[in-house]
Structure 1
């Protein structure tokens, strides 16, 4: 089954969905409200499920990604709470966790699409069903009639609000995140680390070119910003163990990004309605505590394409997509929320001490099992 589709949103999930739809014979237009597809963002880690989804779409990461073999979780004084061997994950899943700049992944996805496939500087605020059952989508100064609309328009999705007007929408998680990529390569002993304090987390991943992405997640009221965010990070985390001070020192102030973390605490009743499908953050925005947000969006994209390839109708395909994706992605979202509550969100000193002791006593296999629980996913065939 083929047809025509408009994908709303040119983020990772939207571009991946467009690639998948084209692979199964659909004519696709991606509509992005930003006037320029800028290569922005910090870093991203992809677990095996995300890498497998990209492979299914024919998007290889190649030398752009660096395997994350050595690392784990530490306390602010530098003591190890848990170590993780990426080699074990590679043996179990065929690939370790990999890290790369988000902008590089975005570039690879864009390169897999014809340039004319993406329309920038155009906003889709609503869609309507025609008398023939197709979808009418305003794009720029014109209107397109298509067989399918894919809402990949992020956590504040307007299409989600149209399809489910009674849904409360995203809620503030209670945590805010600051991210940046260092200006130059840095000397670090591990590929990745997380450090847990009271109500705060600092982590890093190292890229193939030696630069590193770091992030700081901490409890804070929504909307709080700082005149000099990098100086504030030094105040909060500058006394934590090496290489955290070096990571902060290797960062330009204008490279720092600061966003509050919102999630869909109330799960959607469906990921599709009629000929509209939702994916990525529009469908299941989650906290970053499992590193699964982008991976779940990539899974959505492949599963949607496979469902539409099997047909027999758009409505039947979207019903199958919903049945396959909603239970899994909402389960991952709940697990991410729980991980945050037991990890970064935990603030009481006694609770933090109990958590740290439990992590030190847990067998290393437990950390691997926690990753396998969500990363061991295989994509459906697109043929």
Structure 2
């Protein structure tokens, strides 16, 4: 049953989750207004991974074809030590089970481009939403009438979530992350390998993007809020003498392009995503640490499930309850699992690191038999 004809959604936030929700809702017949606080649409950041389930959703929405031109490169990925010794490997023949790596800005541009082809979708920039009362004011002056549903996709510091829950649920994970993308493709090992390298309280990850450049990150245990200084110099001091191609990747990245941000997630257990006709989506609902590379994917999957439930229920409230029952358990597991991987990767006690690495090597050996 499709009960979406003539219904209207307000989506707060024009990030990846909000724009995907707008596309998915438009596809099932909803009129959509997207509200974005910045004066122009755009996205900052570095690389992100799109795993097969989320990639299928983007393909169904017409976005995937805007991201990949040609075949994906096969790479040797896995987990290493700082000296380059492999602890675990994933063969290049597993490409169909591995993510597509794209720059966050490129995915955002593809979503915007696809939205521009859709009727019934309006994006308003320069609109700051400080609470639900702001949306009431917007509805009163909108010629299309009040919204049937409000989708809060306003990020980890969601003002709507905080208003609904009457609390701030953001938790600092204990480490910061530096991120960068090389200015140009780096030949040699950087184009054929990827994965992560775990040291003592420090990790490095890198992977080729679909445009040929390489995305990398470095995590380090730091007090919360230490975001100043020369980020490029910091990462060279941390991992500049680790195995190839890490030094080459850092050298190929413009210093001004290195970003730094504290890693946070939402406290567990996650609170309800549905609140009458208001629903939380993406980081506003279940912000997770990036250790599994699933944050953007979870938002994309939220959008698909939300659209399907709204198309299949006559009552909005029933659809949102069903969405919550589907997505909250799955994303709670994701937040918990990613938190655990981060805790293992950031161990900064030498003897404990040796035990961890030995255990990872043994598990990898068993799985490869």
Give me the TM-score of the superposition, normalised by structure 1.
0.87
SS at match of 1:350: helix
Asked whether the equivalents of residues 74 and 95 of structure 2 are also in contact (C-alpha less than 8 Å), the reply is no
Query: Which of 245, 248, 251 in structure 2 is aligned with 1:246?
Result: 248
Among 9, 34, 40, the residue aligned to 1:36: 40
Query: Could you tell me how far apart the structure 2 residues matched to 1:64 and 1:172 are?
Result: 40
Residue 27 (structure 2) pairs with residue 26 (structure 1): no
Query: What are the equivalent positions in structure 2 for 1:259-278 lying under 5 Å apart?
Result: 259-278=261-280
SS state at 1:44 partner: strand
Partner residue in 2 for 1:124: 129
| Inter-partner Cα distance in structure 2 for 1:65 and 1:286 | 30
Deviation at 1:191, TM superposition (A): 3.8
Q: TM-score, normalised by structure 2?
A: 0.91
Matched, 1:17 2:21: yes
Relative to structure 1, the CA distance from residue 56 to residue 338 in structure 2 (aligned partners, 3 Å threshold; closer, same or farther) is: same
CA deviations over 1:68-122 (Å, ceiling 9, x no partner):
54211111111111101253362xxxx5321111111111111111286211111
1:159 has 2:160 as partner: yes
Distance 1:149 1:22 in 2: 14
Check conservation: 1:31, 1:119, Cα contact below 8 A.
yes
**Secondary structure of residue in 2 paired with 1:62:** coil
Q: How far apart, in 1, do the equivalents of 2:103 and 2:299 lie?
A: 17
1:370 is matched with none
1:210 aligns to what? 212
4+ aligned runs moved over 6 Å, structure 1: 139-144
The 1:197/1:111 distance shift into structure 2, 3 A limit, reads same
Could you say what the CA RMSD is over the residues aligned between the two structures, in angstroms? 2.3
Structure 2 partner of 1:361: 362
Between Structure 1 and Structure 2, how many residues are aligned?
357
Secondary structure of the corresponding residue to residue 362 of structure 1: helix
In the alignment, is the contact (CA less than 8 A) between 1:183 and 1:211 conserved in 2?
yes
Q: Paired residue for 1:282?
A: 284
Distance change in 2, residues 1:208/1:22 (3 Å): same
Q: Does the alignment pair 1:83 with 2:83?
A: no
Equivalent residue in structure 2 for 1:256, among 239, 255, 258: 258
Identify unmatched segments of 5+ residues in structure 2: none
Match of 1:328 in 2: 330
Q: Which residue of 2 aligns with 1:184?
A: 184
C-alpha displacement at 1:268, in angstroms? 2.7
Query: 1:31 and 1:364 mapped to 2: Cα distance?
Result: 50
Q: Secondary structure at the match of 1:73?
A: strand
User: Structure 1 pair 298/68, CA: closer, same or farther in 2 (3 Å)?
Assistant: farther
Cα 1:97–1:6 change in 2 (3 A) is same
Shift, 1:356, TM fit: 0.8
* 1:55 to 2:59 alignment: yes
Instruction: Render the CA deviation track for 1:227-253: whole Å, top value 9, x for unaligned.
Output: 211011111111111111111111111
The 2-side partners of 1:97 and 1:10 are apart by 23
Q: Distance in 1 between matches of 2:181 and 2:327?
A: 32
Query: How far 1:138 moved relative to its partner?
Result: 3.3
Q: Distance in 2 between matches of 1:327 and 1:205?
A: 30
Which residue of 1 is the match for residue 146 of structure 2?
A: 145
Distance 2:128 2:202 in 1: 36
CA distance in structure 1 between the aligned counterparts of 2:91 and 2:323, rounded to whole angstroms: 34
Q: CA deviation at 1:47?
A: 1.3
